[in-house]
Structure 1
Amino acid sequence: MRVWVGIDDTDSSRGMCTTYLATLIMERVESELGRVEGFPRLIRLNPTIPYKTRGNGAVSFLVDVEDREDLMEVVNEVVLEHAMIEDENTDPGVVFVDDDLALKLKSFADRAMKDVVMLDEALFLIGKYFIPHLKYKKGRGLIGALAAVGAELNDHTLELIAYRYPEKFGTEREYDEESFFDMDFELYPLTFDNVDWCNEKVVCIPNTPCPVLYGLRGESVEALYDALDMIRTEPYDRKMIFITNHATDMHIIDTDRISITGLENYRSYKVTGRVTGEPYDIEGGHVFFEIDTRFGEIKCAAFEPTKQFRNIIRQLRPGDEVEVYGSMKKDTINLEKIRIVKLAKVYVERNPICAICGKRMESAGKGQGFRCRKCKTRASRKVKELLSREIETGFYEVPPSARRHLSRPLIRMDGDKRHIFR
């Protein structure tokens, strides 16, 4: 029988990774019970959920086995042995869904990527469809487990994850940084978001005590294996390629297409509006501005980790028409990217220019207008001149080191005027 296995919330901030645990399960299935069909799926859910561990990712994979009870027993053994169940915030959940039933979970999965879904909703579906499952402690992982099975990937990318030897867990990772930049130089954009050229960072290597050595992001299996051959790191224990919704913007609620009455915290939006005031910095290097939208005035923020992206935001002016993408927290949209739709005309007052020599006049004294010392010409008042803007219309994005898993980079978007930090 063909069964989808969905699993989530087996890790903690102190270690483990759900993709690693799922890989161990798949190895057991292949050696003892049957076969795994196709690539497993790594589904990133709503990135603003406050009780997420790290990237809020759940895993699903399709197996062909003779007996579901044997499958459940193997999965239970692996979870009990490797999940961080002793952590107070880890509440694993696993579901076993028939192939045809998976299609009925699509709307639930879509909500789990965009909205706040409660455990009771997952338990209701499990009861409604009599879904076999494993629930540990509170079982909050059942939400992600169901979503990972039901997610429809109209767009997807791939991630090749290499795992460390267990004795290396929690120690500093060994790798040659230059080899990652060389790889990116050769393979980009078939591989992407693995390094940040502007900020000189390798961003596909975690700094947590989890089993992951690195996660290479790309558009094709061939490109990922080419990348694997080019980078130099400590030896890896095992590897797995996942189909994923990384870099797809599946978390974004498009307010121009979906009828909603207001914006809510812990959701992510695309919103159009007009800049109402000058951007301003606060302590810590964070930059804020407000836009007027059909939902009222909304505050937007480019936080310090977005680095050079903040310089674009600082150049916005009142009247600029923009389209912002980001997550709403504390009634503020945390920017992931922005499209400048139209630049307002900005005028500044300056001393007049002498009509004879073409040089700018100087003040003739308080209340006495302006004069040109050389030509003796005079003018009574300053003149308004159109300011030349240093930014252009088009898309701007945060650099890879500040990019969320789900946020779609401009290199994966169609259209002209994409200003990519590279």
Structure 2
Amino acid sequence: MIIGIDDTDSNEGMCTTYLGALMLEELQEYGTVDSLPLLVRLNPTIPYKTRGNAAVALKIKTDCPEKVVTHVISRIEELARMECEKTNPGAVFIQENDYERLKPVLMSFLEEAVKDVIEIGKAKDIISELGIASKSFKNGRGLIGALAACGAMLNPEGWDFTFEHLTYRQKERWGTPRDIDKESFFEADQETYPETWDTVDLTNRLVVCVPHSADPVLFGIRGESPEIVNKAASLIRAESVERFAVYRTNQGTDMHLLPAQSIAEIRDMHSYRLEGTVSVAPKTLEGGHVIFAVRDREGAEIDCAAFEPTKNFRALIRKLVPGDLVLLSGSVTSGTLNIEKIEIKALVPVCREENPKCPECGKHMKSAGQGQGFRCKKCGTQSLSKVRSETGRDLETGLYEVPPCARRHLAKPLAREKRQDIMLYPSR
């Protein structure tokens, strides 16, 4: 049986991955939990998400599926933050004899849930039409993520994947400040990067894998294999933990990005790769946000932003000038593309005007007076106007990313890119 669960957390606490970790242990009473659990991040722009918009799925071999269903539902009722308006849990249960029948439908549903906007009614219609066992609470929006997570479990090799080691706090510590040795996270990163990433932000000297909310997670280490994330976690010095779980995930894969051939096809609440030419020079707004515009081949324009949380990345964006060719990755909200990565494909020459040089002595001439051109006092040579000269650009073509402290769960870090023209700006 495959079990999909979503939307049990709130902004004030709880975490759906914690419920998944509990089920890994508790469902052993009813059978054997098969393979790693899945953590699936959905469309990051959905406004009614709680925090990270993640769903989980598990697979169990059991002779008593009814008891499994009853246990899962009882734990959701007990632990989900039902008092939160945005918390609307859903659970889906798929029997093995339905795997092949449901696989193409739910694989497609997974892609749509990560890249598009799905209404609750569509998930409920699929459940009803295909006879899928499910349980929903309140408006049942969690059924969307639960179905998507099941789609991922039905096709485990059909998408790029990474792993995350999630460590959970003792219950009596929930909601209190986390007791961690920050330096140990930098040591773990130094030992395991680039096979792990987003543990720390070296440039900004921040630990980024420790949440700040009241949820049960102590920290999460992301990487390329279960072995490497476990190794990094073993190097962390922190408060005692209740449990941990290693999830297979779609984090760090760019699975949310859609190719955009033109700005006309771009819609809010979606994420894109878009090529264009800088048409309006970057400007810094109140609050530190940096905004500029790009134009596509049809002449349409869209605003693009490096918001204040992207920190040092904004210094790079400020160096762009009209005419530069860029390939942008990011999510669109309120008609503005929030940059996650930028590939600078071509730079235009930048020229400046300066006084002409004397052909005799090589020194710059001085103005001879308004409307009278320029003259070298030493040699007596003259010139009618200033000259234009190309200046160097403090910028190189290549692929750049926002710092770890500003990275979205689904954004693929450059540590995973297999390219030679990668720029870690200003440095990792």
Check whether TM > 0.5: yes
Deviation, structure 1 residue 371: 2.6
Deviation, structure 1 residue 89: 1.6
Aligned partner of 1:128 in structure 2 is: 129
1:61 is aligned to 2:72: no
Q: Distance in 2 between matches of 1:22 and 1:222?
A: 20
User: Does the 8 A contact of 2:260 with 2:266 survive in 1?
Assistant: no
Q: Distance in 1 between matches of 2:143 and 2:364?
A: 71
Q: Could you tell me which amino acid in structure 1 is paired with residue 404 of structure 2?
A: P
Name the SS of the counterpart of 1:357 in structure 2.
coil
The Cα offsets for residues 123-173 of structure 1, whole Å up to 9 and x where unpaired, read as 011011100011111110000000011135521110000000000000000
User: Does the 8 A contact of 1:24 with 1:78 survive in 2?
Assistant: no
- Gap runs ≥5 in structure 2: none
Q: Distance in 1 between matches of 2:305 and 2:4?
A: 35
Deviation, structure 1 residue 176: 0.9
Deviation, structure 1 residue 358: 2.4
Aligned partner of 1:312 in structure 2 is: 316
Deviation, structure 1 residue 317: 1.0
Q: Distance in 2 between matches of 1:88 and 1:398?
A: 32
Aligned partner of 2:15 in structure 1 is: 17
Q: Give 4+ residue runs of structure 1 displaced > 6 Å after superposition.
A: none
Choose which of 184, 187, 204 in structure 1 pairs with 2:189. 184
Q: Distance in 1 between matches of 2:378 and 2:68?
A: 93
TM-score, with structure 1 as normaliser: 0.96
**Aligned ranges 1:87-236 → 2 under 5 Å:** 87-99=84-96, 100=99, 101-104=101-104, 105-151=106-152, 152=155, 153-236=158-241
Q: Could you tell me which amino acid in structure 2 is paired with residue 202 of structure 1?
A: V
Q: Could you tell me which amino acid in structure 2 is paired with residue 140 of structure 1?
A: R
1:357 is aligned to 2:354: no
User: Does the 8 A contact of 1:362 with 1:370 survive in 2?
Assistant: yes
Choose which of 379, 382, 385 in structure 2 pairs with 1:378. 382
The Cα offsets for residues 233-257 of structure 1, whole Å up to 9 and x where unpaired, read as 111110000000000000000124x
- Gap runs ≥5 in structure 1: none
Q: Distance in 1 between matches of 2:387 and 2:264?
A: 45
The Cα offsets for residues 55-94 of structure 1, whole Å up to 9 and x where unpaired, read as 1000001111112211110001111111111222210000
RMSD, aligned CA: 1.4
Choose which of 289, 294, 315 in structure 2 pairs with 1:291. 294
1:337 is aligned to 2:337: no
- Between 72-81 and 374-383, report the one with greater CA deviation: 374-383
Percent identity of paired positions between Structure 1 and Structure 2: 48
User: Does the 8 A contact of 1:411 with 1:420 survive in 2?
Assistant: no
User: Does the 8 A contact of 2:263 with 2:302 survive in 1?
Assistant: no
User: Does the 8 A contact of 2:89 with 2:137 survive in 1?
Assistant: yes
Q: Distance in 2 between matches of 1:197 and 1:291?
A: 31
Deviation, structure 1 residue 294: 4.5
- Between 139-148 and 149-158, report the one with greater CA deviation: 149-158
Count of aligned residue pairs for this structure pair: 417
User: Does the 8 A contact of 2:263 with 2:301 survive in 1?
Assistant: no
Q: Distance in 1 between matches of 2:294 and 2:373?
A: 38
Q: Could you tell me which amino acid in structure 2 is paired with residue 383 of structure 1?
A: V
TM-score, with structure 2 as normaliser: 0.95
Q: Distance in 1 between matches of 2:191 and 2:378?
A: 60
Aligned partner of 2:26 in structure 1 is: 28
Deviation, structure 1 residue 260: 9.3
